[in-house]
Amino acid sequence: MASEEKDGSVNSSVAQAIDNSASLEIDQPTESTMSSGKKVDKNSEVSLQAKSKQLLSSLWEKIIGFKRVVQEKSFRFCRGGHEIEQARVYHFWPGNNVFFFKGRLICGPDPKGLILTAIAISLSSWTFAVHVASDIRNPAIIVTSSILTTIVLVSLVFVSTIDPGIIPRNDLGTIDAGKRRRRSRVVVINGIEVKLKYCNICNIYRPPRTCHCATCNNCIQQFDHHCTWIGHCVGLRNYRLHVTFLLTGLLLFAFMFIFSCKSLHHKLPGDGNGVIGLLRNDPETVALTLFSFVAMCFLAGFSCYHVYLIAINQTSYEHFHQKYVSSGNPYDKGILNNIKEALLASQPPSRVNFRADVEPGWFGGLSDISIK
């Protein structure tokens, strides 16, 4: 019995040792199994990336399709749910602009600056006519101030309500979502290389001297700046009007400042109170004189700056960012030719017809527009 028990214990210990060795062999893989495991992991990663790309592509196509469906359903119901005969481009334009008179006038997204500027000019002219020109009693002064005020206000309206040079967008639906595009291209203009950047919002390569305005959400040709005082972009098509507005505004406020000072000189009290007496007797003329002086200095600085930019044929954006410090300005044609190009050249037509009829399926661009 003792020998049988010893034999059983020996057999059990041997079996346990065999099991331990087998487990060790399983736990310690060979190099071939490790390499095959890495290959499997790489294959799984590749397949996972391919599946994710397919998933993103299908998701993007579904988003485009959903937006198309929404636009087609709202095709005949625009502007608060009222049915219209034909939808037009300005109804669905993806920029932040505000349109008036059925797309004939285009303004920036925030009209507060335009309204404030118009009120300041009108109120200053009215104060001048009532408190200054009436005391001098010279009809030529009233007529001159009225003409200058009219020119300034007309220039303000035109510069803030026309297309500054908006570049048409590309139809996102016609672009392969998986296709990679280069971030920039290089073109040669007058022997100088100019880089054309790709706009991910408008989905186009920006033409030379074009920049995307973050406020209006449009690419503007020959972008100068976004002016808060008119609430609109200043670009190729309204730059001349902007300069006209600055120069005529400078003349208007300089005219009012000169004759306001003359009126204050005649109204000085003889009791020795001086400025305090003027503030008591005619505070409107004193306020107009101070405001005209500030506006005149402000407009004089901007006018001189833009005259300099015209002479060297640069925009405010290009000059501020020092675009041509290292390479030279390919658009500089000399002072006289630069002035002719900026002030006398014919104005190019708008590249976007915002009143064009839109067919169902149009998506943020101009590829499906039919002009009737």
173: CB partners within 8 A, 6+ apart: 64, 68, 363
Task: Tell me if 107 sits within 8 A of 232, measured CB to CB.
Answer: yes
Quote the crossing angle between the two packed helices 112-128 and 139-159, to the nearest 10°: 180
Q: Catalytic pick from 107, 227, 233, 297? A: 227
227 assigned to active site: yes
* CA terminus-to-terminus distance, the chain: 112
Q: Which residues are catalytic?
A: 227
